[in-house]
Amino acid sequence: MHWLFVVSVMLFIAGIGFIIAAGRQRQTAPAAAPSAVSAARPVGSIKQIMNGIVAPGANAVFNAVSTTVTAKGVEEVFPRNDEEWATLGNSAAALAEAGNLMLLDGRAIDNGDWVKMSRELVDAGTLALKAVEAKSTEAVLTAGEKVNESCDNCHAKYQRQ
């Protein structure tokens, strides 16, 4: 009887050991595959991103809302229908995404101010997009100021060429 008890205890302890070993095996899962972002390959240059995406997007935001007073009267410029708001939203989204494009490996000039300023462009474009979604002309004006500020700050350090 004593012998059977010892064998049972040994099997119990061995079973617990196998369970613990299996649990540890699960905790050390293999590393995840690289994300799609790290697999992205820069194609265009910074200058092409600026000329093809940032400048048109920024100009769309800057020119979307204005008030001009002339001898003929007051001229108000703002998106007047859903299609014009959608077009402005596309420009704002492109502007924000351009900031992300400037952060891709192989394109960032440095890991300090370049990253900070690229993220500021993302934030300014996102602010413009939210203003468009709210269909708020005042918020578009505020977002335009943030876009201008982010552009000016970056160009003060990283000269246009």
The ranges assigned to domains in the chain are: 1-30, 43-157
Coil, strand or helix at 108 = coil
| Contact call for residues 47 and 140 (beta carbons, < 8 A) | no
Identify the pLDDT of residue 159.
Answer: 77
What are 128-133's contacts with CB under 8 Å, separation 24+? 128/61, 128/92, 128/95, 128/96, 129/89, 129/92, 129/93, 129/96, 131/92, 132/79, 132/85, 132/88, 132/89, 132/92, 133/89
* pLDDT tens-digit readout, 44-66: 888 899 999 999 999 999 999 98
The larger pLDDT score, comparing residue 39 to residue 121, is at: 121
Q: Is the pTM of this model over 0.85?
A: no
Name the class of domain 43-157: mainly alpha
